[in-house]
Amino acid sequence: MKKAVVLMNLGSPDSTDVKDVKRYLDEFLMDERVIDKPWLFRALLVKGIIVPFRAPKSAEAYKSIWTEKGSPLIVISEQLGDALKKEIAEPVAIAMRYGNPSPRAAFDELVKNNPDLEEVIAVPMYPHYAMSSYETAVEYAKEQHKKGGYSFKLTTIKPYYDNGDYIHALCESIRPHLESEWDHILFSYHGVPERHIYKGDVTGQHCLKVPDCCDVPSPAHQYCYRHQCWTTTKLVTQRLNIPAEKFTFSFQSRLGRDPWLQPYTAQKLAELPKEGVKKLLVVCPAFVSDCLETLEEIAVEGKETFLHNGGERFEMIPCLNVHPLWVNALAKWVGEYVSGKKEMVLEM
Ligand SMILES: C=CC1=C(C)c2cc3[nH]c(cc4nc(cc5[nH]c(cc1n2)c(C)c5CCC(=O)O)C(CCC(=O)O)=C4C)c(C)c3C=C
Ligand SMILES: [Fe+2]
Ligand SMILES: [Fe+2]
């Protein structure tokens, strides 16, 4: 049976022109899984306030990280696709939730080159489940698959925040940085509004309600972004023998005034030097590809905050990007599925 792989990432604007950034932010923030407010309220907020005010600033930020080949997130996704093609027999394409290339473009390209295609395995470039990342990417791919009337079946890889191969790749990408001088390591994850965590709690009474909710077993964990981020942090720090007093777990990129998951990264970056942390390592495991949020928000703005508040050394650990162990993990999951193992896939 002929199978293919689509790596699904978030997407970037087509260029750093304000009009392209506006179009991208509009598509992104009008997604009801990102800003989960009634359509009219969302439209007034996004089109009337957020996009006009944010786009010029975002365009400047994108300019500061843009490469000759385009947005780092897209370029790295393409490089990862190319690296994976060398390891597996199945064709590979990339697709973005917002902007280009769209899932339809990826599906059309695969069908054109493989008319006998019977199944596409979608691999979300998100280790953790969140309504605003993993869920929207998967649901959009399903919607586009249905709309396109394709004859192939669509299958999805599950969130892999605790998968041994993913954790191994992440640990080995961090390990060389532990050889430099450091006092503390910050695990900074993209944040989400607390409201999204309550919404995803299938028990209605666990997440952010029970003390130490992320460590207390619950069926809520299947859809709990905080639990999944915390589990990645625990597994990595245990495996790398990093004691509790040497690491911090935090959330970045808050948008708007609603409470988001805490502690906030920016606050921690300002506080840590005052607690005696002078040499800091930072890793962002919610992102598998470097992007605006790692290269600008953390590596530039975050570094400035840390140094301005008394920090002396700030070292950013790159995302997995095209790390050979990450490519191996993806190749292994695809290979296992192709040979009949269903562990890594969601049944749809
Ligand atoms: C890791 C997964 C992500 C989650 C969860 C997520 C939630 C989320 N994001 C916003 C708003 C913005 N995010 C922006 C950029 C951005 N977000 C992610 C990933 C997650 N977002 C990535 C990989 C990127 C970088 C894209 C790139 O091109 O490099 C932006 C745009 C940039 C900016 O203006 O700052 C916005 C806006 C919300 C509101 C949200 C949850 C509700
Ligand atoms: Fe985001
Ligand atoms: Fe939870």
Residue 280 to residue 5: CA distance in whole angstroms: 37
Residue 1 has pLDDT above 90, yes or no: no
Ligand 2 centre and the CA of 10: distance in Å? 8
pLDDT in tens, 99-154: 999 999 999 999 999 999 999 999 999 999 999 999 999 999 999 999 999 999 99
Nearest ligand, CA of residue 227? 3
CB 289 within 8 A of CB 80: yes
Neighbours of ion ligand 3 (CB under 5 A): 207, 213, 224, 227
CA 44 → CA 29, 35, 255, 259, 301, distances in Å? 11, 12, 16, 21, 29
Domains of the chain with CATH codes:
2-16+66-157+325-346 (3.40.50.1400), 164-316 (3.40.50.1400)
Ligand 2 centre and the CA of 292: distance in Å? 9
Ligand 1 centre and the CA of 222: distance in Å? 22
Residue 132 to residue 36: CA distance in whole angstroms: 9
Residue 347 has pLDDT above 70, yes or no: no
What's the mean pLDDT in 332-336? 96
Q: Report residue 348's pLDDT band, with 50, 70 and 90 as the boundaries.
A: low
Ligand 1 centre and the CA of 212: distance in Å? 27
Residue 97 to residue 252: CA distance in whole angstroms: 21
The 3-state DSSP class for residue 17 equals: coil
Alpha-helical segments (H) within 184-292: 194-200, 225-239, 265-271, 292
CB 162 within 8 A of CB 229: no
Mean pLDDT of all residues belonging to the chain? 97
pLDDT in tens, 261-293: 999 999 999 999 999 999 999 999 999 999 999
Question: With the C-alpha atoms ordered 33, 258, 194, 269, is the resulting torsion angle positive or negative?
Answer: positive
Cβ(18) to ligand 1 under 6 A? no
Residue 5 host element (H or E): strand 2-9
Q: Are strands 153-157 and 345-346 parallel, antiparallel or unpaired?
A: antiparallel
Nearest ligand, CA of residue 205? 3
Supply the residue whose CA is at minimum distance from atom 17 of ligand 1. Answer: 293
Cβ(42) to ligand 1 under 6 A? no
Ligand 3 centre and the CA of 206: distance in Å? 6
Nearest ligand, CA of residue 198? 3
Q: Which of 8, 133, 283 to mutate to test the pocket of ligand 1 (most atoms within 8 A of CB)?
A: 133
Residue numbers belonging to the annotated binding site: 190, 293
Supply the residue whose CA is at minimum distance from atom 33 of ligand 1. Answer: 58
Residue 93 to residue 106: CA distance in whole angstroms: 6
Ligand 3 centre and the CA of 215: distance in Å? 9
pLDDT in tens, 80-112: 999 999 999 999 999 999 999 999 999 999 999
Bridge partners, 315 (sequence order): 281
In the sheet that 184-190 helps form, which strands lie side by side, from edge to edge? 247-252, 184-190, 279-283, 313-316
Using the atom order of ligand 1, give the atom closest to the CA of residue 196: 42
Using the atom order of ligand 1, give the atom closest to the CA of residue 190: 1
Residue 283 to residue 170: CA distance in whole angstroms: 10
Q: Half-sphere exposure (CA, 13 Å, Cβ side) for 9?
A: 27
Q: Report residue 342's pLDDT band, with 50, 70 and 90 as the boundaries.
A: confident
- Give Cβ neighbours of residue 74 (< 8 Å, ≥ 6 apart): 9, 11, 12, 94, 96
Cβ(307) to ligand 1 under 6 A? no
Predicted confidence at residue 120, as pLDDT, reads 97
CB 325 within 8 A of CB 168: yes
Ligand 3 centre and the CA of 233: distance in Å? 15
Alpha-helical segments (H) within the chain: 18-29, 39-45, 51-65, 72-87, 103-113, 136-148, 164-174, 194-200, 225-239, 265-271, 292, 303-308, 324-338
Q: Which of 293, 296, 297, 300 to mutate to test the pocket of ligand 1 (most atoms within 8 A of CB)?
A: 293
Nearest ligand, CA of residue 215? 3
pLDDT in tens, 156-211: 999 999 999 999 999 999 999 999 999 999 999 999 999 999 999 999 999 999 99
Residue numbers belonging to the annotated binding site for Fe(2+): 190, 293
> What amino acid is encoded at 28 in this protein?
F
Predicted confidence at residue 346, as pLDDT, reads 82
Residue 317 has pLDDT above 70, yes or no: yes
